[in-house]
Structure 1
Amino acid sequence: MSDAAIHPIRFVLSDMDGTLLRADHTPSQRTIDTVRALRDAGVLFSLASGRPPKAMMHMVEAFGIDVPVAGFNGGTLVNPDGSILLAHHLPAEAALVTLALFSAEPDVEVWLFADGEWLRRDPPGPMVAVEAAGLGYGPLVVESFEPYLDRVDKIVAASRNAPLLVELEAQLQPKVQGLAHVSRSQPIYLDVTAMLANKGDALKSLAAHLGVPLEQTAAIGDGGNDPAMFHVAGLSIAMGQAEEAVKRQASVVTDSNIDDGAAQAIERFILAAY
């Protein structure tokens, strides 16, 4: 018997890219209808993403979300109207170490998110277009990241060289231990955020805010930043295309995002109890 059968789920926190959204960054009609069915059943639903909050607002509207959502891997919790509920910034010390490591790699594009903006220093590489397509807007070009170091939401190393990002993750972890959270939100993105800026702490904060016990929460995701919420949710669901290391940390595995895996899991493991 699943945890969902023992403790009917009252709150679902889902990743966006690779989970609710297809490769073109849109949800299927089945996914939209399934989320609506959750809300009709009285189950709360929200989003947790590595995206900046302002790049999540169109999906907040599309899914009719009326509770806070978590951007920057949980670093910033925002209300549906975009106002900030809670924010965790990366310590300047960790930001400097991270920028030094990433900037030394010619195959890596280095981005910094602060003040609600996506910032870059270097000439645009191929990853800028990929990110802009997902976020719906482009970066601001700055001469230096230094003026923003006291209010960094996230630093990203972006590269089509996925094995390099795995190596950089392993190199950076011990350098910022206790100061920052390092995870690959997708194979092409390595994210660095504050220690409390992770989806696990976001789930705890949102559940407490909504008055839902953790055993009655569910988490759905596909990336390396999603097991943090898997570990605290009552029910955790990994997408079919996720890496094996991610799947092993989930309660159940569903189909891929292109096969409506999130909708399937919600129907089978959550709505079936209502």
Structure 2
Amino acid sequence: MTLQTNSRYKLIALDMDGTLLNRKGEISEQNRKWIQAALEADIKVILATSRSIRGVVEHARTLNLDLPVIVSNASEVWRTPDELLSRYEFNAEAKERILKVIKEYNGHIRFYIQYVGGQFNHDQWDPELAWEKQWLQVAIKSDDGELLDKIREEISSWGLLDICSSHYTNIECNPAGRSKGSGLLEVCNLFDIRMEEVIAVGDSLNDVSMIRAAGLGIAMGNAQEVVKQAADEITLSNEEDGVAAVIQRYFF
């Protein structure tokens, strides 16, 4: 039976890893059930992730989401999982400088370069071939916090990239101005939905931009402390069906 909603919220944006997905990378039955209830009540449910579109499509189809998805921290926004809406790439200067950082710290960092159609990893890549690709996102990883802070400071000084992270051991780089928050605004403009009518849910630093931009920003129970401080509310953890709890409380 379809549930009725009188909520003032019209859209919910969900991070994936650490939010929608449990530690096994699965969508729980409760999360699935309440997402379906939201869809049947004409609530728009969208995914917003640092994953590439290839890492999203299967989950979106499992949930019957024929709606926009924000991927690569909004370097791409897809109108549906099968139709690209917009794409934002690294310019030549940003690529050149990132390659110099990788060369300088080679052996002390791990990294991946997410490009249109694929990804290079630190242990399997070709700098010349990488240069020819359309870059969407770069992640640099290290267990050495001081080294990571040094690299973050250097990259930030260029003013060419938007920097965040999905874990305390990494930094994620996107074209300047691209974040989950900017991607969410793009989706809202598509549907003529005001940001005050949006709920955003996440657990990591790369979710803070959309949590702050949304009318209601919610941190997962397992979220990093800085994310909880940025949020309006805190829900249950991803192991306790926190997404289902949000949908039940604020839509029904």
| Alignment TM-score, normalising by the size of structure 2 | 0.90
Alignment of 1:194-209 (within 5 A): 194-209=175-190
- Correspondence for 2:163 among 159, 162, 182: 182
Q: Does the CA-based 8 Å contact 2:69-2:81 persist in structure 1?
A: no
Residue 111 of structure 1 and its aligned partner are, at CA, apart by: 1.5
Residue 162 of structure 1 and its aligned partner are, at CA, apart by: 5.3
CA-atom RMSD, angstroms? Answer: 2.1
Matched, 1:191 2:172: yes
Q: Does the CA-based 8 Å contact 2:95-2:131 persist in structure 1?
A: no
SS in 2 for 1:119: strand
- Counterpart CA distance in 2 for 1:224 and 1:33 is 28
Letter of the 2:167 counterpart? Q
- Counterpart CA distance in 2 for 1:250 and 1:23 is 22
In the superposition, relative to structure 1, how do residues 207 and 173 fare at CA in structure 2: closer, same or farther (>3 Å)? same
Could you say which residue in structure 2 is the equivalent of 1:172?
155
In the superposition, relative to structure 1, how do residues 123 and 213 fare at CA in structure 2: closer, same or farther (>3 Å)? closer
- Counterpart CA distance in 1 for 2:202 and 2:151 is 23
In the superposition, relative to structure 1, how do residues 93 and 143 fare at CA in structure 2: closer, same or farther (>3 Å)? closer
Between 152-161 and 45-54, report the one with greater CA deviation.
152-161
Matched, 1:231 2:212: yes
Q: Does the CA-based 8 Å contact 1:7-1:216 persist in structure 2?
A: no
Matched, 1:221 2:202: yes
SS in 1 for 2:90: coil
Matched, 1:146 2:131: yes
Could you say which residue in structure 2 is the equivalent of 1:79?
79
Letter of the 1:271 counterpart? F
In the superposition, relative to structure 1, how do residues 160 and 172 fare at CA in structure 2: closer, same or farther (>3 Å)? same
In the superposition, relative to structure 1, how do residues 107 and 257 fare at CA in structure 2: closer, same or farther (>3 Å)? farther
Could you say which residue in structure 1 is the equivalent of 2:114?
113
In the superposition, relative to structure 1, how do residues 206 and 110 fare at CA in structure 2: closer, same or farther (>3 Å)? same
SS in 2 for 1:248: helix
- Determine what percentage of the aligned residue pairs are the same residue: 24
Query: Which blocks of at least 5 consecutive residues in structure 1 are unaligned?
Result: 1-5, 125-140
In the superposition, relative to structure 1, how do residues 169 and 241 fare at CA in structure 2: closer, same or farther (>3 Å)? farther
Residue 160 of structure 1 and its aligned partner are, at CA, apart by: 4.2
Q: Deviations over 1:8-43 (max 9, x none)?
A: 110111110010001111111111111111112211
- Counterpart CA distance in 2 for 1:58 and 1:7 is 29
In the superposition, relative to structure 1, how do residues 107 and 240 fare at CA in structure 2: closer, same or farther (>3 Å)? farther
Q: Does the CA-based 8 Å contact 2:20-2:238 persist in structure 1?
A: yes
Could you say which residue in structure 2 is the equivalent of 1:49?
49
Size of the aligned set, in residue pairs, is 246
Q: Does the CA-based 8 Å contact 2:67-2:81 persist in structure 1?
A: no
Q: Does the CA-based 8 Å contact 2:60-2:81 persist in structure 1?
A: no
Residue 258 of structure 1 and its aligned partner are, at CA, apart by: 1.3
- Counterpart CA distance in 2 for 1:166 and 1:40 is 45
Residue 7 of structure 1 and its aligned partner are, at CA, apart by: 6.7
Query: Which blocks of at least 5 consecutive residues in structure 2 are unaligned?
Result: 1-5
Q: Deviations over 1:182-240 (max 9, x none)?
A: 11122333210112321111110001101211110110011111111112111100111
Q: Deviations over 1:91-150 (max 9, x none)?
A: 221222233224433231121111220113x436xxxxxxxxxxxxxxxx43532222xx
- Counterpart CA distance in 1 for 2:80 and 2:147 is 37
Between 81-90 and 230-239, report the one with greater CA deviation.
81-90
| Alignment TM-score, normalising by the size of structure 1 | 0.83
